[in-house]
Amino acid sequence: MVKPDGVQRALVGEVISRFEKRGLKLIAVKIYRIPTDIAERFYGEHKGKHFYDSLIRYITSGPVVCMVWEGEEAVSVVRAMMGKTNPAEAAAGTIRGDFALHPGRNVIHGSDSEASAKREINLLFNDYELIDYKRIDAEWLVE
């Protein structure tokens, strides 16, 4: 997901381009203003932490771009491309390393496991929004 700061800074195309160039397949995308009840369920594991309330206010403050990517080891590939949560620790060449300065405005969210991805996808997308298709370059991406 490109967070509100990434949308406002016009980084959506850059993020999508990086994942596509890596070889991941985009199977769902939408611009969305997350309602508070969905945000609370989305970030439920952080409830009670000092940053939870500000996180909920922030993620609901403007539009986000939600995406679902497929590919071999997609979760770990996306996590590596995003960079560390704290942009000061994120390597150059990662999305956060290149575009973010503050942990609270770090441009992008990515699921940390397949289980989290399934839960988050179910919160943000209906089944009919997930498009199954074959990329014509698939045979050149995976052995």
pLDDT confidence of 143, banded at 50, 70, 90?
A: confident
CA distance 81 to 54: 25
The pLDDT score that the predictor gives to residue 121 is 98
Q: Which of 46, 50, 102, 109 is catalytic?
A: 109
22 is in an annotated binding site: no
- Going by CATH, does the domain composed of 4-134 fall within 3.30.470.20? no
The pLDDT score that the predictor gives to residue 31 is 98
119 is in an annotated binding site: no
The pLDDT score that the predictor gives to residue 142 is 87
Specify burial of residue 82 (Cβ count, 10 A radius: 0-12, 13-18, 19+). Answer: buried
pLDDT more than 90, % of the chain: 98
49 is in an annotated binding site: no
Q: Six-digit token pair at 11?
A: 């980084």
Q: Is 109 a catalytic residue?
A: yes
